Amino acid sequence: MMDKLAIVVPCYNEEEVLHIAAEALRGVLDDLIAKKKIAEDSFILFVNDGSKDRTWELIEEEHKAHPVQCCGVKLAGNVGHQYALTAGLITAMNKSDVTVSIDADLQDDVTVIEEMIDKFHEGKDIVYGVRKERKTDTFFKRTTAQAFYKMMAVMGVKTVYNHADFRLMSKRAVEQFSKYKETNMFLRGMMPLIGYETDSVYYDRKERVAGESKYPLKKMIALAFNGISSFSVKPITMILGLGVFIILCSVLAAVYALISFFSGHVVPGWTSLILSIWFLGGLELIAIGMVGQYIGKIYMEVKQRPRYNIEKVLESED
Ligand code: UDP
Ligand code: MG
């Protein structure tokens, strides 16, 4: 039995690209079916993320013309890329053996989907699409994106460098992913937590075929902040560190203030004032950091993430 592939495509106001994307992806399906790499009833699942334009009507048209290959899910309202993609993956999970998620704008190279499928057949559960260079991005997008990956690494969030949300996931990887019940989701950070064997394929990212980016700076910053704050309590630990640092500074300040005091060059009251400012400042930061540690723990607990993922069990068959 051949594996059934579902290509999940989140779409928000993508009327300009929808037909082009559908055609290109149908081409990929036909090609892979002809090569006997996927099942004949493999399909594309468009997720309409509350588009305000004609995106959903176009998805309906595609479904009418290609009832098996083109399917759709309509979300009630705009929930954002990460949730739209999650909705698509979980819907596809019960109808397929393997999923590939890709943006509607065809910036990602559809031809590497075949390579992803090959890696899946070699036994990989998650295959990341990683872009080689960022030549087609504007200078601004490139530098901000790179700063973002560096920042994530500093904050201790494991992500794959230069990988966005173009990836293959096996059915069991999606099933395990669906057990992550958190509401603040940053998919790229969650994938490494699943723990199955992963691999990467490399491609050049192209320009959008049509339309404009649905990720303005505001959404990008929100995604970056969400990525850090949902995966790491390091910022809190940093406050604690800062508090300790300030207390140490207060020792130096004390030495300086006492020398000034005994050499008699100071206004009355200055020494005690300067000492209290440094010492209390440090103390307060430490206290906030300590309280923060507990809040950080509570935050991690309330996510109720699965603690492990059993990959295989060896046992006797009686
Ligand atoms: N998208 C979505 N909901 C949103 C914003 C974007 O489903 O609220 C989809 C969009 O249709 C596209 C993908 O997410 O398929 C990535 O968006 P885009 O290509 O605009 O981002 P960029 O490549 O500019 O970072
Ligand atoms: Mg794009």
pLDDT digits (tens, 9 = 90+) for 127-162: 999 998 777 777 887 888 888 888 888 888 888 888
Chain centroid to Cα 58, Å, comes to 28
Atom of ligand 1 nearest to the CA of 102: 15
The per-residue pLDDT of the chain, averaged, comes to 91
**Residue 9 CA, ligand 1 centroid: distance in Å:** 10
Q: Is 12 in the pocket of ligand 1 (CB under 6 A)?
A: yes
Region of residue 72 (phi > 0: left; psi between -120 and 50: alpha; otherwise: beta): beta
**Residue 213 CA, ligand 1 centroid: distance in Å:** 7
Distances (CA, A) of 195 to 115, 156, 189, 192, 228: 21, 17, 12, 6, 20
Distance in angstroms (rounded) separating the CA atoms of residues 12 and 56: 9
- The residue type found at 43 is F
Between residues 317 and 22, the one the model is more confident about:
22
Query: Quick one: 315 exposed, middle or buried, by C-beta within 10 A (0-12, 13-18, 19+)?
Result: exposed
**Residue 8 CA, ligand 1 centroid: distance in Å:** 13
Averaged over 252-260, what is the pLDDT? 89
Nearest Cα residue to 202 out of 264, 301, 303, 112:
112
Does residue 51 have a pLDDT over 90? yes
311 confidence band (pLDDT: 50, 70, 90): confident
Query: Quick one: 150 exposed, middle or buried, by C-beta within 10 A (0-12, 13-18, 19+)?
Result: exposed
Q: What confidence score (pLDDT) does residue 318 get?
A: 65
**Residue 186 CA, ligand 1 centroid: distance in Å:** 14
pLDDT digits (tens, 9 = 90+) for 176-233: 999 998 888 899 999 999 999 999 999 998 888 888 888 888 888 888 888 888 888 8
59 confidence band (pLDDT: 50, 70, 90): very high
Q: What are phi and psi of 165, to 5 degrees?
A: -110, 30
- Token pair 């290959």 is found at 69
pLDDT digits (tens, 9 = 90+) for 259-300: 988 888 788 888 888 889 999 999 999 999 999 999 999 988
The answer to whether the CB of 215 falls within 8 A of the CB of 165 is: no
Nearest Cα residue to 7 out of 124, 122, 84, 88:
88
**Residue 288 CA, ligand 1 centroid: distance in Å:** 38
Averaged over 229-255, what is the pLDDT? 91
Nearest Cα residue to 138 out of 212, 190, 79, 197:
212
Q: What confidence score (pLDDT) does residue 275 get?
A: 87
The answer to whether the CB of 186 falls within 8 A of the CB of 230 is: yes
Does residue 305 have a pLDDT over 70? yes
Atom of ligand 1 nearest to the CA of 14: 11
Region of residue 258 (phi > 0: left; psi between -120 and 50: alpha; otherwise: beta): alpha
Give this prediction's pTM.
0.86
**Residue 20 CA, ligand 2 centroid: distance in Å:** 14
Q: Mutation test of ligand 1: which of 7, 12, 58 has the most ligand atoms closer than 8 Å to its C-beta?
A: 12
The answer to whether the CB of 30 falls within 8 A of the CB of 113 is: no
DSSP 230-283: HH--HHHHHHHHHHHHHHHHHHHHHHHHHHHHHTT-S-TTHHHHHHHHHHHHHH
Q: Mutation test of ligand 1: which of 8, 74, 215 has the most ligand atoms closer than 8 Å to its C-beta?
A: 215
Atom of ligand 1 nearest to the CA of 212: 20
pLDDT digits (tens, 9 = 90+) for 62-117: 999 999 999 999 999 999 999 999 999 999 999 999 999 999 999 999 999 999 99
Q: Is 81 in the pocket of ligand 1 (CB under 6 A)?
A: yes
Q: What confidence score (pLDDT) does residue 185 get?
A: 87
- Token pair 């990212």 is found at 205
**Residue 80 CA, ligand 2 centroid: distance in Å:** 14
Q: Is 214 in the pocket of ligand 1 (CB under 6 A)?
A: yes
**DSSP category for residue 3:** P
Q: Is 10 in the pocket of ligand 1 (CB under 6 A)?
A: yes
Atom of ligand 1 nearest to the CA of 208: 19
Q: Which tokens belong to 302?
A: 């309330």
Q: Which tokens belong to 286?
A: 């430490």
